[in-house]
Amino acid sequence: MVVKRDRDAEESKRHTRLEELFTRHYGELSRFASRRVGPDAAPDIVSNTFLIAWRRLDEVPTETSRAWLFRTARHVIANEVRGRRRRELLGARLGLDAEPIERDPSAAVTERLRIRAVLDRLSPQDQEVLRLVEWDRLTIAEGAQVMGCTRAAFKVRLLRARRRCAAALLAEQPSQATVATVPGVAVRALTPTHSEGHVTHQ
């Protein structure tokens, strides 16, 4: 009887902790997933992330649970993307037509497409570093944990990604000599006043 009460109490603690994680991080994880796989697939990504968190709750660190969840979501997304590519390849082999893309002629959509084209010129690592810090608002420490590297290495990756993004934007709009701004991503071009080690978020 005592053993059952202890077991029930432990299970209740687990449920409480998962609910706290869910309440605290569901929104930002949804946005994180939506920006990478689209709003339709994002709920499944988040659900799978929290399912993994529940199964491995004892492994979720108390102090860095946010970064742990983002890193887990990133792995879930990678698996989803690989699955999509396999399905697309199978569809191509079977001669299936791809779903038509609806095009919105509005200026806002045109601008988003331009920005997407610029970001797509960057390496996957550069894109991910910029998204984690500038869009998902992770700190340097959290971003480093998500990417599985040291803080110093993450800072270097971020600095280089910002510079490459700035170069791509300046190549498209040469009149912007010093600062090029993408919604959600402020990227500074090389200038004498730009500090080599400056990073916005600590």
Q: What is the pLDDT along the chain (202 residues), one digit of tens a residue?
A: 656 677 778 888 999 999 999 999 999 999 999 988 888 889 999 999 999 999 999 999 999 999 999 999 999 998 887 766 665 554 444 444 444 444 444 555 565 666 677 778 889 899 889 888 888 889 999 999 999 999 999 999 999 988 888 787 777 665 543 434 443 444 333 323 333 334 444 5
**96, 117, 133 - which closes a domain:** 96
Cα(126)–Cα(120) distance, integer angstroms: 10
Q: Domain of 44?
A: 1-96
pLDDT at 150: 93
Do residue 48 and residue 14 come from a single domain? Answer: yes
pLDDT at 25: 95
pLDDT at 3: 61
pLDDT at 86: 63
pLDDT at 195: 37
CATH of the domain at 63: 1.10.1740.10
Do residue 83 and residue 135 come from a single domain? Answer: no
**Structural domains of the chain, count:** 2
Do residue 62 and residue 142 come from a single domain? Answer: no
